[in-house]
Structure 1
Amino acid sequence: MLTPWQPLLDWWFGEGATAVEIAAEKQRLWFGYRPEQDAEAREHFAALTDQALAGGLDDWTMAPQGWLALILLLDQLPRMIYRGTPAAFAGDERAQQLVRDGLVQGGDMLLPPIQRVFVYLVLEHSENLAAQEQALAYFAMLRDIAEPAEQPLFDDFADFALRHRDVIARFGRFPHRNKILDRPSTDAEQAFLAQPGSRF
C-alpha cells in the first residue's frame, strides 16, 4: 500500500540507488532556485505543507520515513512554496522540535545517510549556535562513515554545515533573512551581505 508520504519522498530523492546517484539527480532541486521547481512544489505539495504548518500530520511521525517527510514539509517545502516571504520559515520551530525528539529516539539512524542529511539540515537552518554545533557534529559523522566514492559528497555537506555555523557564531542569526523578516541589519551584516557567497 502506498503511504501518504511516499510521493513526496519519491519527488525529493528520485530513483538513484546510491547517495552519489541521488545527489546527481536531485541536487538542483535541493539547493538551486528555479521557478518551475517552486511551482511544482506548490502544485503537488502545497496542501500537505499547509497541513503540516498548521500542526497536522502528527501520525506521520510513527514511521521513520513519515517522520522524514513531515520534516521536509516543515523545513524544505515552505522555503520553495513561500520563497521570499516570512512564511518560508514558518515551519522551522516545529521541524526543530521534531528533529530533537527524533534524535533522542534514534530515528535518524533508521534512515539512509543521504536521507539523514535532511534531518540534520534542520539544525543547520537554526539561528541557535548550539543547534549549529550539533549539525556540524552530525555532518562530520556522516562524512566519517561514508563509502570512499561518497566521501566528496559528504565532505561538501560538512563544509556547508561549517559555513552556516560560522555565520551564526559571528552574527547570532542569518543576515540574509533580515530583509524577509523585516529585521534591521547592522553595518557589519550589510558589509557581509555585500560579499559573494553570503546568502545560503
Structure 2
Amino acid sequence: MATDLYIPPQAKPLLDQWCGDGLTRHWPSEPRDKLWFGFDPEQDEELRHRYGALVDEALAGGLADWADSPLGRLALVLLLDQLPRNLFRRQARAFAGDARAQALTHAAVASGEDERLAVVARVFLYMPLVHAESLPLQDEAVRCFERLREQAPAFCHATLDENLRYARLHRDIVARFGRFPHRNDALGRKSTAEELAFLKDGPRFGQ
C-alpha cells in the first residue's frame, strides 16, 4: 500500500469522498456501500453538482495527465467508469467512458502499478474490467480479484469474497450472452427472447 502517491489537486476531493480513509488503511472505516452501489437520485444529483464538469472533461478525452500517477489514474477511472453510471443512469452516456477506462486499467495491471495501491483503490481500478462486454476482459477481472484476495490483509477477505462473487457473476453473463442484456434499451439494441426472459429476474446493476 502506498500512502505517499501523488494526487492531482482536482482529484483529491473525489478520492476523499469515494475512498475515505481507505487509502491509508486498505478499506474505509465508515461504510460506503450506499455511495458506491446505491440508487439514490439525491445522491446522483450531488455527485453531478460536484463532479459533473470533470466527468464531461474526462469523457471528452481530457485529464490525460492524471494517469501519470497511480492515484491520479484511479481518479480518472472513477470519472470514466463509476460516475457516469450515477450521472446518466439508463442512458447510453453511462457507458461512454468504458473503453478508455478499460485501457487505463489494463495498462496499470500490465505494469504492476495496481499493486502499489490500497485494497479499496484496487477494487475500483478493476471495475472497468468487470463492466466490459468482452469475455477476455471479464476473465482478466476475475483473475485480478482472485489475486487481490490472495494479497489482501485478512480483515478485507469477507468483502473481497463478495467482490469476487460479483466479478464471476458479470463474467458468466457475458459468457452467456456476449453482452449485458440490461444495457440493451439504453444502447438501442434489440433484446433476444432469451435476454428478455433473463431480464425478468436478472440483475440490472443499478441501470
Q: Structure 2 residue aligned with 1:39, among 25, 32, 45?
A: 45
Match of residue 96 from structure 1:
102
Distance 2:107 2:148 in 1: 20
Q: In the TM superposition, what is the alpha-carbon distance from 1:2 to its structure 2 partner?
A: 7.1
Question: Out of 122, 144, 149, which is 2:150 matched to?
Answer: 144
Partner of 1:199: 204
The alignment yields a C-alpha RMSD, in angstroms, of 1.6
Q: For 1:123, which of 121, 129, 139 is the aligned residue?
A: 129
Kindly indicate whether the alpha-carbon contact (under 8 Å) linking 2:184 and 2:190 is maintained by their aligned counterparts in 1. Answer: yes
2:17 alignment partner, one of 8, 11, 28: 11
- 1:132 aligned partner: 138
C-alpha deviations, 1:144-196, integer Å up to 9, x for none? 2232222110000000000000000000000000011111110100111112x
Q: Which residue of 1 aligns with 2:33?
A: 27
1:80-108 Cα shifts (integer Å, max 9, x gaps): 11112100001001111111222222221
| Cα 1:101/1:147, change in 2 over 3 Å | closer
The CA distance in 1 between the partners of 2:184 and 2:55, in whole Å, is 24
Give the structure, 1 or 2, with the largest relative contact order (CA under 8 Å, sep 6 or more). Answer: 2
Question: C-alpha distance in 2, partners of 1:127/1:88?
Answer: 14
Q: 1:172 to 1:46 in 2, by over 3 A?
A: same
Residue 137 of structure 1: how far off its partner (Å) = 0.5
Mean Cα displacement is larger for which, 174-183 or 24-33? Answer: 24-33
| 2:182 corresponds to | 176
Q: Which moved more, 1:8-17 or 1:50-59?
A: 8-17
**Residue 79 (structure 1) aligned with residue 73 (structure 2):** no
Native 8 Å contact 2:25 2:118 kept in 1: no
Moved over 4 A (4+): none
Which secondary structure does the structure 2 equivalent of 1:126 belong to?
coil
Give the aligned residue type for 2:121: Q
Superposed, which structure 2 residues align to 1:43-82 within 5 Å? 43-82=49-88
Tell me the TM-score normalised to structure 2 length: 0.90
The number of aligned residues is 198
Report the secondary structure of 1:180's partner residue. helix
SS of the equivalent of 2:188 reads coil
Gaps of 5+ in 2: 1-6
Shift in Å at residue 130 of structure 1? 0.3
Moved more, 97-106 or 79-88: 97-106
Instruction: Find the aligned partners of 1:162 and 1:74 in 2 and give their Cα distance.
Output: 22
